[in-house]
Amino acid sequence: MDPKLSKRFFLILLKYTPWLIAIGYLLGIIFAAFNIPTIILTNFVGISILPILFILCSSFALGFCIWHRLPIYYVIVSDLINLIDYLIGIPISLNWLLFWYILMFGICAILGAYLKNKYNVKKRNIKTCIA
């Protein structure tokens, strides 16, 4: 494989995989709230903290925009909330917890769309945003 093509493929994967993981997390949470089995979904998009931290560090090292890191932050916060709920227990109903997950994802998606449009110009400074 051409090194230039493989580098471009790696950058595309690194940019858009976090959004696919975040959407998968949100779908898994919604399905779990309605007691729909999510074995296949969690096997495809479920991810532990260490690979997410690698993706986050790679996005900083390559100088990606903040809109590429927003889904990574969403997944980290979702994992932390899941961990706290599992270990300690959050004293709210499942409906409210589902509402907060959807609200967090909505905020990340709207903020991501805003920041994507903000940095969507022909000439970009490579050090501030690679898009």
Q: What is the pLDDT of residue 123?
A: 47
Query: DSSP string of 73-121?
Result: HHHHHHHHHHHHHHHT--SS-HHHHHHHHHHHHHHHHHHHHHHHHHT--
Q: What is the pLDDT of residue 17?
A: 87
**130: which 2 tokens?**
């690679």
- What is the pTM (predicted TM-score) of this model? 0.78
Residue ranges per domain, the chain?
3-118
Beta-carbon neighbour count of residue 129 at 10 Å?
19
Burial class (CB in 10 A: 0-12, 13-18, 19+), 74: buried
Residue 71 contacts residue 112 (beta carbons within 8 Å)? yes
Quick one: CA torsion of 114, 120, 123, 129, rounded to 10 degrees? Answer: 60
pLDDT in tens, the chain (131 residues): 677 778 888 888 888 888 888 898 889 888 888 888 888 887 788 778 888 888 889 888 888 877 788 889 998 998 888 889 889 988 888 889 889 999 999 998 898 888 777 766 554 554 455 54
